[in-house]
Amino acid sequence: FTRRDIREKRPGLPLVIRFTVLNARTCSIIRNADIEIWHCDAGGEYSGVNGASTHFLRGHQKTNVKGKAEFLTIFPGWYRGRTPHIHMKVSVGGNVVHTGQVFFNEAITRKVYARAPYASRGVYDTPHAQDMIYSQAGGSSAELALVKRAGGAKGYLGTIAIGVAT
């Protein structure tokens, strides 16, 4: 589904994610790249699995003339054996050129998870250091740069540049 707001009324702390897609060799922006993201809700559940036709916290968009695409979602929850993350896929010209994940600063994650609706699940069980995919993805270079949203808006703004081979 092409859409900016992928929340579908799922409870959680608002999160705006701003991706910039770049050519990994030249660092030039890539217009019209398709970015798809998906992640679990605050309770650690995914939509669209086990035959479910739900689409919450899933969506895709094309990058604009500046190589940017922005999603409005919620801070993801966690599930056993994985550090908190958001899945992503980037396609250029119909070809998948990157499949990966983005991650979160652990101190901020602990603060978010101390609040409802996350707090009822307890502390997540897999820090970055114990998640093999985190290290394979580049560690801290695969973390969103997080800042509190401006203008009194609740939640965080996360930004990241994704270099892809085209």
Please give the pLDDT value at position 76. Answer: 98
Q: Give the global pTM.
A: 0.95
Please give the pLDDT value at position 102. Answer: 98
* 126-153 confidence digits (pLDDT tens): 999 999 999 999 999 999 999 999 998 9
Q: Which residues pair with 58 in a beta bridge?
A: 38
Which residues have a Cβ under 8 Å from the Cβ of 156 and sit 6 or more positions away?
A: 13, 14, 15, 16, 75, 108, 146, 147, 148, 149
143 vs 34: CA distance, rounded Å: 20
Percentage above 70 pLDDT, the chain: 100
Cβ contact 11:117 at 8 Å: yes
Structure token pair of residue 70: 């922005």
160 vs 146: CA distance, rounded Å: 9
Please give the pLDDT value at position 51. Answer: 85
Q: Taking all residues of the chain, what is their mean pLDDT, rounded to a whole number? A: 96
* 7-57 confidence digits (pLDDT tens): 999 999 999 999 999 999 999 999 999 999 999 999 999 999 888 889 999
Please give the pLDDT value at position 154. Answer: 96
Please give the pLDDT value at position 130. Answer: 96
* 87-121 confidence digits (pLDDT tens): 999 999 999 999 999 999 999 999 999 999 999 99
Q: Which residues pair with 156 in a beta bridge?
A: 15, 148
Please give the pLDDT value at position 8. Answer: 95
